[in-house]
Amino acid sequence: MIGKTLIPGLFFLLLLGAARGNTLPVLPYPQQVTADQGALSYPARLRFQSIGINAPMTTRLTEHWNNFAAGLPHPVAGTATVSLVLLGKNAQRDKDLQQKAGAGYQHIGQEGYVLIMNEKERTIAAHTEAGLFYGLQTLKQLTRGGWNKTVSITDWPAFATRVIYDDISRGPISTVAYVKQQIERMAELKINYLSFYIEHVVQPVSYPDFAPANGKLTIAQIKELSAHAAKYHMQLIGSFQSFGHFDKILALPQYRSMGETNTLISPLDPKAREFLEKVIGELCDAFSAPWFNVNCDETFDLNKGRSKAYIDSIGPARFYSDHMKFLYDVVTKHHKKMMMWGDIALQYKEIPDMLPRDIIYLTWEYSDQPSYARWIQPFADRKLEFMVCPGILNSYRLFPDMVMAKGNIAGFLAAGKQQGATGAFTTIWDDGSTYLFSGDWYGVYAAAEKSWNIDTLQNDSFDSRYEINAYGTRNGGYVKALFKLMELRGLKLTYNLNELLWQQVLLPEKGKKMLLNNTSVPAANAILQEASTHISRAAPLWHKDDVHTLQHAIEQYQIIMDTRTTLVQTVKQYQEAQGMTAARPQESKVLLLASARGIHALASRYVAMKDRYRAAWKRENQDYWLKEVLLPYDKKIADLHQLEAALLSAAANTGKQAALPPADSLRLTIAETRFSYFQNWMLTGPFPGNENSPVPAFLYAENNEYNKPPSPGDFTMYQGKTYRWHKFATPNGGIIDLEERFGKVAHSSAYAYCNITAKEAAVSASFLSAPAGAEVFFNGMQVMAIPGTDTMEGEKKYPLPFKAGINHLLLKIPQGGSPWQFTFRLAADINVINSKHKYQTNPQNKVYEAE
């Protein structure tokens, strides 16, 4: 074939000199491409010639194309005839197409296709309607992307099962209309399954009273969405949390008795079993896919509830497996295959051997790991069916970490494919609840790319292909802005893109104090200014909400930085005004009015951001949880208005009174600091004591079973009572107010825990401010105790003997009068970063936690 060279898509860029003009504007990138030399027009108007295809199929495919063509902003004029060929109807025709398609023809299977576009022939051929549909998606992208050359493609998926899994239970729950938009957009990316994480946001007929009134999917709506998905060769995989994470339903009085604990449903409770059987049965019948996911992950309380004695007698693995077999029978009865998360089966290695072998394990890990063997090999070695589940990480972030997501998706899917995974099951988690799906699409496109073509070397063209297909642009504005914003993940103040910055209060309550460390603000401002410039140039032709959501994130970070610097400036100006009120009242008044104007301008920005965010939420989501996600805006706006009024009042009274009110009355007791105080801890308590023994003698628990460094949700025991360890983040910049957390409990004490990873063994200084009687334990050894008679205020300095690796820090803080609070930090020359209660000191390679 003169002028043509058959080459795999894997080598297409290399052989064409990596020229952007020779890279197909297609995503996911095809497996095999024939690079032709001729020119060809791609008009939007097509006349389909059906070969071996019945009329209904032709009508469906034609309708898909016409809907696409009608939305093109600048279509190429003219009409072209395209042959749609169903293979297997004519042996000679199939042989001719096989010769043109080359070696890849044998791989096209049920979803692959052959696409030939040249001067003599325009053909899409496939074994099924789904294959023809996917061929049309590629032709759509060539047409919309302005491709003007002849080309031949042979294409097929790396994974037969390509899933996007959306968390709709942690705050945002999509409207039916938006789910339909998701289906249509994902289908163009050759995603063939959509699923949802569901705890309580469905309304079965049998139990209609646990779903939120303003946020749910009814059985009728699920069936409607299943039917809509079928039009786009997608299926909806059913899901219901069937063991742990059951707290939202168990919190309702009518269901409380079903609880093993307040987070686990009880497998032994007849009422609970009946509930699960009926709800899962209805959902199995409503969702269209052949599988049903019972979830059952993160059963933190597995052997800590009311059945503990029984569980201890048979073992937690048997207890868990018995419940899985019950769920298996329920799902099987409704003609579905059961899916379940694989984490508990990895924790208790014997579980897979206790369960039916046709269960599908969803093995998950969301960090960018050097190896994924620990999440794959236990299933692969047993020859069990498993799917690998990477993640697009929103969790507890202001914007998803796309650096982590992109690496995790590529690495986990490649490792899974090599070891026999049958599906690519990409998850999107909304822990923290303030997220919009329009911020996730870059990750969805990355997942679609690797789910279809795991081996493509088109990585350096992915961003340009993403922008062409997602927004119809080639300016790089969106992607440059996105990855400039990602640079915040490495700064101390914004490390891991954590949401703590947003949740922090603006002003301390009267009688309280707040610490502000703004040392990272200049670097953050430089990043945000560049990101803002890039996003302003994005100019999308479609899917504009994606750009608006990224723009909102940039503005959200910017207003956080501006607020921190404005508040510090306001404190300084108020102190200056206090000093000149008596002698120079007019100058004092001018200064106060200037401060009030700055606060007013800041409040106005928050109001505008809140209004834009509310509108964006309602374009995607039902009203459920909207009030909660707007609370931080409301609180900040109210605080700023209150401060503005106080400053104006002080200005009005300048010259009438001898002195300005104290800063505390304006809630301006804010101290700027260069020190990095630990803001994230795990807390438990309060433990009752007495005047002679205010702090319990044990380390983590008096019960040996729990006397170990805790994980979130773990228990501790004291005098026959159970306490939990809870994650805690101070809203005051490093001051841990235990009275605010636990209330006033006379002669009680609380525990605070974190771990600190050090590169090497060393003795480093640390500083604690705490009530008399406080004790510090490091790696199980007491390293400091503040005498009960100590009346000195301020920080106490003491050495911490670090070992290389993870170090465990435990503070015991008695309620020794008021205030019942503490601060902790390391020496200023130690660089500290953290993800929640996990800290790193002087890291060479920063570790980013998936959470």
Question: Same domain, yes or no, for 245 and 338?
Answer: yes
User: Is 440 in the same domain as 520?
Assistant: no
User: Which of 671, 694, 719 marks a domain boundary?
Assistant: 671
497 and 558 co-located in one domain: yes
Q: Which residues pair with 687 in a beta bridge?
A: 749
Same domain, 379 and 491: no
Q: How far apart are CA 334 and CA 289, in angstroms?
A: 12
Domain boundary among 110, 130, 155: 155
User: CB neighbours of 291 closer than 8 A, spacing ≥ 6?
Assistant: 237, 238, 336, 337, 338, 339, 360
| Cα–Cα distance, 104 to 453 (Å, whole number) | 13
Task: Output the domain CATH number for residue 732.
Answer: 2.60.120
Residue 745 has a pLDDT of 83
pLDDT at 792: 58
The tens digit of pLDDT for each residue in 159-176 reads 999 999 999 999 999 999
- Catalytic residue of the set 298, 487, 530, 740: 298
Alpha-carbon torsion 836, 838, 841, 843, what sign?
negative
Long-range CB contacts for residues 313-319, cutoff 8 Å, separation at least 24: 316/348, 317/348, 317/350, 317/351, 317/354, 318/354, 319/267
On whether both 414 and 445 belong to a single domain, the answer is yes
Residue 115: strand pairing partners: 124, 153
pLDDT per residue over 579-630, tens digit each? 998 889 999 999 999 999 999 999 999 999 999 999 999 999 999 999 999 9
Domain that holds residue 63: 5-155
Specify if 576 maps to a domain: yes
Dist CA 134 CA 138 (whole Å):
6
pTM comes to: 0.95
Domain co-membership, 123 together with 195:
no
Domain boundary among 654, 671, 688: 671
Would you say residue 474 lies in a domain?
Answer: no
> Domain holding 80: CATH number?
3.30.379.10
Q: Nearest CA to 29 among 14, 12, 53, 42?
A: 12
d(CA 230, CA 145) in angstroms, rounded, equals 27
* Structure confidence at residue 744 (pLDDT): 85
How far is Cα 165 from Cα 391, in angstroms, rounded to an integer?
Answer: 9
Do 93 and 112 reside in the same domain of the chain?
yes
Q: How many domains does the chain have?
A: 4
User: Which segments in the chain show pLDDT lower than 70?
Assistant: 1-21, 457-458, 789-792, 817
Shared domain for 705 and 586, answered yes or no, is no
Q: Catalytic residue at 298?
A: yes
| Integer Rg of the chain from CA | 30
Burial letters for 608-647: b for 16+ Cβ neighbours within 10 Å, e otherwise?
ebbeebeebbeebbbebbbeebbebbebbbebbebbbebb
Alpha-carbon gap, residue 332 to 328, rounded angstroms: 6
Rounded distance between C-alpha atoms, residue 21 and residue 26, angstroms: 12
User: What is the structure's pLDDT at 288?
Assistant: 97
| DSSP per-residue letters across 721-778 | EEEE-EEEE-TTSS-EEHHHHH---TTEEEEEEEEEEESS-EEEEEEEE--TT-EEEE
Tell me if 472 is assigned to some domain.
no
Same-domain status, 496 and 441: no
Distance of alpha carbon 407 from alpha carbon 392, whole angstroms: 10
Tell me, yes or no, whether 471 lies in a domain.
Answer: no
Asked if residue 322 and residue 196 are part of one domain, the reply reads yes
Judgement on whether residues 648 and 553 belong to the same structural domain of the protein: yes
Closest CA to 689 of 647, 717, 719, 665: 719
Contact 142, 42 (CB under 8 A): yes
Q: Is residue 477, in this structure, part of any structural domain at all?
A: no
- Residue 462 domain-assigned (yes or no): no
The token pair at 681 is: 């801890």
Residues 6+ apart with CB under 8 A from 354: 317, 318, 321, 325
CATH number at residue 298: 3.20.20.80
Residue 550 and residue 559: Cα distance in Å, rounded? 14
Of 847, 813, 809, the closest CA to residue 826 belongs to: 809
Cis bond leading into 843, ω under 30°?
Answer: no
Q: What is each CA distance from 621 to 41, 71, 168, 438, 615, in whole angstroms? A: 41, 25, 9, 11, 10
Which residues are registered as beta bridge partners of 372? Answer: none
On whether the CB atoms of residues 375 and 364 are closer than 8 A, the answer is yes
Examine the domain organization and report whether 745 and 767 are in the same domain.
Answer: yes
Instruction: Give domain status of residue 441, yes or no.
Output: yes
Question: Residue 851 falls within a domain, yes or no?
Answer: no
